[in-house]
Amino acid sequence: MKKLGNYVTGRWINGDGEGQALYNAVNGETIGYASTRGLDFNAILEYGRKTGNPALRKLTFHERGLMLKALALHLRNHLEKFYSISYKTGATKADSWVDIEGGIGNLFSYASLRRKFPNEPYCTDGDSIPLGKGGTFMGQHILVPKEGVVVHINAFNFPVWGMLEKIAVNLLAGVPAVVKPATITSYLTEAVVQEIIASGILPEGSLQLLCGSAGNLLDHVTAQDVVTFTGSASTGLQLKSHPRIMTENVPFTMEADSLNCIVLGDDVTPSMPEWDIFIKEVRREMTTKAGQKCTAIRRIFVPQNKMEDVWLALGKALSQTTIGNPENEKVRMGSLAGQSQREEVLAQVQKLLASSQIVYGSLDSVQVVDADAKKGAFMSPLLLKNENPFGSDAVHSVEAFGPVSTIMPYNSMEESIALAKKGKGSLVCSIVTASNANAREFVLGAATHHGRILVLNNECAKESTGHGSPLPLLVHGGPGRAGGGEEMGGVRGVHHYMQRVALQGSPTAITAITNVYQPGAQTREEEKHPFRKYFEELQIGDTVITHKRTVTEADIVNFANVSWDHFYAHTDHTSLEGTIFTKPVAHGYFILSAAAGLFVDAKKGPVMLNYGLEECRFIKPVYAGATIGVQLTCKEKVEQEKKDENDIAKGIVKWLVQVTDETGEQVAVATILTMVAKKNQ
């Protein structure tokens, strides 16, 4: 029998002893064994810190992002292998698609997110803050990668997605990972890691894998490390309370099982499309991955007068779900991940039955296709009914982690909100309603207790990714019982693996540190106009101070006629009483246009086009007779990759535009963007 390997300290190592047996969830046959006995967990963490961390920290966000893209493309070449192994976990083709290709999709998403960051190993965070009246002292937050290792302790239900959705974020941040998948399905995680390591795409030490027990791994974490956990709330509490986590103040992110719910709005009737949407969503969430999802719907709240109609419709929908061998094309629900999981689910159902009753399904039997129900970890979907949700605690605190859900009544939107909150914090809840007023009332009332809320109606149903699908650029996590943590979340998620530092100093010093021009910093004005410089030649702080021009009444009238902006403040002398203006004022966009006329170098050169405007403020009114001048400063440079071999090598340059009048006061400030060609094509 195969023994799974552990990829640590740069090589594949088998743990000592026989280890834990791993079983095919569909037929009960032994697949292999997993063991981490004999491994030096302290050495594993030190290897990540001393080998993987420095290598990743040297790379810029753009380089790390391109690394993720290359990895995603590589893994797509091995989908057939991953699917064939995934079937052994009990997952159908559709289930496996979410796990495998959904995980790879996270790599692509975070690869694309590199464009939100500078081409540097670190980044600024938020706006600069003036700290002195004279403009010589300021503050700026920056983010740098932590110098440790991220320890990911993952759940059994998504052995691929659970790993890839997490490492995509920490690798983009510049921090290596040690992944400890749940042992029961770790054979699929191992297969993916084998291909990752074989590709040679990641710097050595960026990713290590443990198949088996985590041993005393947490005894060796430090304040520069991060620990994430996905699994049961009880196990998460034990890990979060680990003495080393507490004494070292190690950042700990938990995503725990939760009693997620769905609400049918009281406006929805059986004749409406939202009714069918609701039934389809509940059925899908009960049967996808055989209900083994931390985001699955466990509580169903419907108006009291629609209870029977809903459970009958759900029973009919569930009866059309073919259960059995996931490799059979007719099968829509496979097995649970193992016999132990089925036993655990059935034990939890017994607790729920103390206050609820089964209205669909059977505890004892299940009809399966192309499989043996006794050898495989199969069970029937179970729909329970609880008529007294305010008087029952178990239905809001006991989770059966399988194809099990409970339907309950409510009498008002206020009651539905109160019931949703009784889960004491969840990853996600949904409301299906055609009434935006109902949606608003529910969201604002229930938002404090949920990490994500899906508002589902006929308008968005076709494009909706569904109740149970966390998305890379949205946070995944929830308060209270759900763990109080966050995963993914786009830029927000990357920040979790970085240290935020508040810098204080002169604008010139902070410009040099951040590579972003800060107002008041020293500039360089040369005879060669900045627009004559190629992207590589431009330096942060390159400046041109223009000659001046006087604004005339004719300018204001002509701009109004050209732009067709005849707003009263520009054109009507008789309507200014009670306003802040003493006479017709120049259009703000005229001032910006006039500024461009002053600072632009008109000859053909490296500047290819105006790429846009990031920010613009009109600070002081400009009247006819005022004389304006401009200071244009190179603020920031953003690399752009070639789309193909025929594309022009180029980058985006951000320019700070400061417009002043004859008194020296600023009248307008803006950041404009130009696309600038590179000298080296």
| 549-550 and 650-660 beta bridge pairing | unpaired
Per DSSP, what are the bridge partners of residue 230? 255
Tokens of 73: 């493309």
Taking a C-beta distance cutoff of 8 angstroms, is the pair 591, 618 a contact?
A: yes
Separation between Cα atoms, residue 391 and residue 563, nearest integer Å: 66
C-alpha distances in Å from residue 518, one per residue of 322, 508, 663, 672: 63, 7, 23, 15
The CATH number corresponding to 261-457 among 3.30.1370.60, 3.40.50.300, 3.40.309.10, 3.40.50.620 equals: 3.40.309.10
CA dihedral 216→217→221→227, nearest 10 degrees, is -120
Question: In sequence order, what DSSP letters do the residues of 377-410 get, joined into one string?
Answer: T----EEEE-S-TTS-SGGGT----SSEEEEEEE
pLDDT at residue 582, as a whole number:
87
Task: Classify residue 147 as exposed, middle or buried by CB count within 10 Å of its CB (0-12, 13-18, 19+).
Answer: middle
Helices (H) and strands (E) in the chain, counts: 20, 29
Q: Please tell me the pTM assigned to this model.
A: 0.89
| 650-660 and 666-677 beta bridge pairing | antiparallel
Give residue 514's Cα distance to chain centre.
25
Per DSSP, what are the bridge partners of residue 450? 426
pLDDT at residue 639, as a whole number:
85
Residue with tokens 């740069």: 10
Q: Where do the H-state alpha helices sit in 144-267?
A: 161-173, 186-199, 233-240, 243-247
Residues 294, 429, 441, 486: which is the catalytic one? 294
Taking a C-beta distance cutoff of 8 angstroms, is the pair 668, 588 a contact?
A: yes
pLDDT at residue 527, as a whole number:
85
Q: What is the pLDDT of residues 537-575, one digit of tens each?
A: 999 999 999 999 999 999 999 999 999 999 988 988 888
Class of the CATH domain delimited by 523-677: alpha beta
pLDDT at residue 1, as a whole number:
62
Per DSSP, what are the bridge partners of residue 259? none
pLDDT at residue 84, as a whole number:
93
Taking a C-beta distance cutoff of 8 angstroms, is the pair 208, 177 a contact?
A: yes
Please list the ranges in the chain whose pLDDT falls under 70.
Answer: 1
Each domain of the chain, given as residue ranges in start order, spans: 5-256+493-499, 261-457, 523-677
Determine if residue 515 is left, alpha or beta; phi over 0 gives left, psi from -120 to 50 gives alpha, anything else beta: left
Which of the 8 DSSP states describes residue 420? Answer: H
Separation between Cα atoms, residue 611 and residue 597, nearest integer Å: 16
Give residue 324's Cα distance to chain centre.
34
Separation between Cα atoms, residue 466 and residue 474, nearest integer Å: 14
* Residue closest to 41 by CA, chosen among 216, 181, 179: 216
The CATH number corresponding to 5-256+493-499 among 3.40.605.10, 3.10.20.30, 3.40.1190.20, 3.40.50.10140 equals: 3.40.605.10
Task: For residue 294, indicate whether it is catalytic.
Answer: yes
Taking a C-beta distance cutoff of 8 angstroms, is the pair 247, 218 a contact?
A: no
Separation between Cα atoms, residue 146 and residue 226, nearest integer Å: 9
Tokens of 8: 């640590």
Separation between Cα atoms, residue 482 and residue 259, nearest integer Å: 8
Residues 123, 165, 190, 255: which is the catalytic one? 255
Task: Classify residue 223 as exposed, middle or buried by CB count within 10 Å of its CB (0-12, 13-18, 19+).
Answer: middle
Task: For residue 429, indicate whether it is catalytic.
Answer: no
Separation between Cα atoms, residue 120 and residue 401, nearest integer Å: 44
